[in-house]
Amino acid sequence: MSASQTTAIRHDWTRDEVLALFDQPFNDLLFQAQVTHRQHFNPNEVQLSTLLSIKTGACPEDCKYCPQSARYDTGLEKEKLMAVEQVIEEAKAAKETGATRFCMGAAWRSPKDKDLPYVAEMVREVKALGMETCMTLGMLKEEQAQMLADAGLDYYNHNLDTSPEYYGEIITTRTYEDRLNTLGNVRKAGMKVCAGGIVGMGEGEKDRAGLLMQLANLPQHPESVPINMLVKVAGTPLDQQQDLDTFEFIRTIAVARIMMPKSHVRLSAGREEMNDEMQAMAFMAGANSIFYCEKLLTTPNPKANSDMQLLDRLGITPEKRHVEQDSQEQEEALRKTLAEAETDHLFYNAVN
Ligand code: SAM
Ligand code: DTB
Ligand code: SF4
């Protein structure tokens, strides 16, 4: 493709077309992804989301990658649903480091109706701080999705995880169809969809293509597409999984960018194991969102200071919220975090 061609928004991808994207020479693929990215986004901006586990562990599902499944002994301490006040404290802290979106995750198969008023209250109070809200609570019925939308929830995260063909190797306690139904209920309720998957679970390239095909062929592209690199947690069935080739991971990001040109593609779990160069390559391939918090749900993520330093070295700035007052507050918070990062850096130099 040439730099002046516009990438079409399509919902009719075939597996062969997607595999042909994957199989291009690496430089050609990255060029195409960059051209697409620049048509819809400032390539030097990355959106920052903070993640918080509001209910941890003891999950009845059998997702083979997950440290929170009750079926695997991962040594994780389970915690019941967090009090609303504590969630708000965490959200305030996230806002102070410059995050614009606050994502709350629960280790549930699906929320119980009695839980809904509590989580709806969390949404209302986090929104009142001026942050965007996202939740991931498992499968949702139509009425539950509507209750969350009525409380003001902006995004609902529910991943397809992998291709329909590989899915049965990873999860047996809910079907692919169940997941698609939840995404449908989220859309029907008028919320934005955050849906992606995990790579590095032993799947083949055709499965990575199959996952992206499912996402891009939805009636509307998810606004947010998290691409997680498997975090191998001791005690889970996938803890000995072989590493996915770095370039194959970057190719997955690039193909996601090309297929869903207007979506935020999130360089999601797995950054703790990636060096700066690999993350920079993911941004070059079109990733424009990260989890900005020291812990994902239960596993570590890079520190805010080191993320700020990396973005600063790359000349990347955090994406602003499009509300004037909020973005001024955010700018101040970011300046503070970066100043702290720079001081840390000096201390580091001084002792070496
Ligand atoms: N329990 C809810 C559900 O599964 O829908 C919400 C929380 S669940 C932990 C959210 C997502 O985190 C999963 O769908 C999966 O994509 C991702 N995830 C969980 N464990 C992971 C791991 N070890 N590595 C990478 N991603 C992981
Ligand atoms: C998503 O796609 N990745 C996040 C979020 N959505 C909820 C979760 C990553 C979890 C990684 C393993 C853990 O920390 O427990
Ligand atoms: Fe439970 Fe979600 Fe983990 Fe699956 S991914 S075991 S549903 S917490």
Is residue 134 among the annotated active site residues?
A: yes
Q: What is the pLDDT of residue 344?
A: 56
Query: What's the confidence (pLDDT) of residue 5?
Result: 63
Residue boundaries of the structural domains of the chain: 15-351
Q: Are 58 and 107 in contact (CB under 8 A)?
A: yes
pTM, full prediction? 0.91
Which residue out of 257, 266, 271, 293 is catalytically annotated?
Answer: 266
Q: Are 311 and 46 in contact (CB under 8 A)?
A: yes
From the candidates 15, 71, 101, 103, give the one annotated as an active-site residue: 103
Q: What pLDDT, on a 0 to 100 scale, did the predictor assign at position 8?
A: 80
Q: HSE-up of 175 (CA within 13 Å, CB side)?
A: 3
Question: Residue written as tokens 């990575």?
Answer: 208
Tens of pLDDT along the chain (352 residues)?
A: 555 566 789 999 999 999 999 999 999 999 999 999 999 999 999 999 999 999 999 999 999 999 999 999 999 999 999 999 999 999 999 998 888 899 999 999 999 999 999 999 999 999 999 899 999 999 999 999 999 999 999 999 999 999 999 999 999 999 999 999 999 999 999 999 999 999 999 999 999 999 999 999 999 999 999 999 999 999 999 999 999 999 999 999 999 999 999 999 999 999 999 999 999 999 999 999 999 988 999 999 999 889 999 999 999 998 886 555 555 666 676 667 666 666 554 443 433 3
Give the pLDDT of residue 59. 97
DSSP-derived secondary structure for 189-256: TTPEEE--EEE-SS--HHHHHHHHHHHHTSSS--SEEEEEEP---TTSTTTTPPPPPHHHHHHHHHHH
- pLDDT for 4 equals 56
| Residue 51 half-sphere exposure toward CB, CA atoms < 13 A | 28
Can you tell me the distance from the alpha carbon of 234 to that of 254, in angstroms, rounded to the nearest whole number? 30
Residues in CB range of 283: below 8 A, 6 or more apart: 43, 46, 267, 314, 316
- Rounded Cα distance, 149 and 25, in Å: 43
CA separation for the pair 305, 302 (Å, rounded) = 8
- Is 203 touching ligand 3 by the criterion CB < 6 Å? no
Integer Cα distance of 260 and 279 in angstroms = 20
* Ligand 1 contact via 72 beta carbon (within 6 Å): no
| Residue 186: both structure tokens together | 């989220």
- The Cα angle at residue 283 between residues 302 and 349, in degrees rounded to 5: 45
The alpha carbon of 17 and the centre of ligand 2 are apart by a number of angstroms equal to 29
Report whether CATH 3.30.1280.10 matches the domain 15-351: no
Which residues, in sequence order, are CB contacts of 29 under 8 Å at separation 6+? 21, 22, 251, 254, 255, 285
* 78 three-state secondary structure: coil
- Number of the ligand closest to the Cα of 229: 1
With the most atoms of ligand 3 within 8 angstroms of its CB, the residue from 59, 64, 158 to mutate is 59
36 lines ligand 3 (CB under 6 A): no
Which strand (E) or helix (H) includes residue 337? helix 324-351
Tokens 């190719």 -> residue: 251
| C-alpha count within 13 angstroms, C-beta hemisphere, residue 220 | 13
Alpha-helical runs (H) found in 10-67: 15-22, 26-40
Catalytic (active site) residue 293: no
Nearest to 69 by CA among 239, 193, 217, 191: 239
Strand 101-106 with 132-136, pairing:
parallel
Query: CA-to-CA distance for 106 and 68, rounded, in angstroms?
Result: 10
Q: Is 266 a catalytic residue?
A: yes
Identify the pLDDT of residue 352.
32
The catalytic position among 10, 15, 38, 59 is: 59
Q: What is the DSSP letter of 83?
A: P
> With the CA atoms of 48, 49, 50 and 52 taken in that order, what torsion angle do they form, in degrees rounded to the nearest 10?
-170
Residue with tokens 């690999």: 278
Question: Does residue 61's CB lie within 6 angstroms of at least one atom of ligand 3?
Answer: yes
Do residues 48 and 113 make contact, with C-beta atoms less than 8 angstroms apart?
Answer: no
Give the sign of the dihedral formed by CA 341, CA 343, CA 348, CA 352: positive
Q: Identify the DSSP state of 319.
A: P
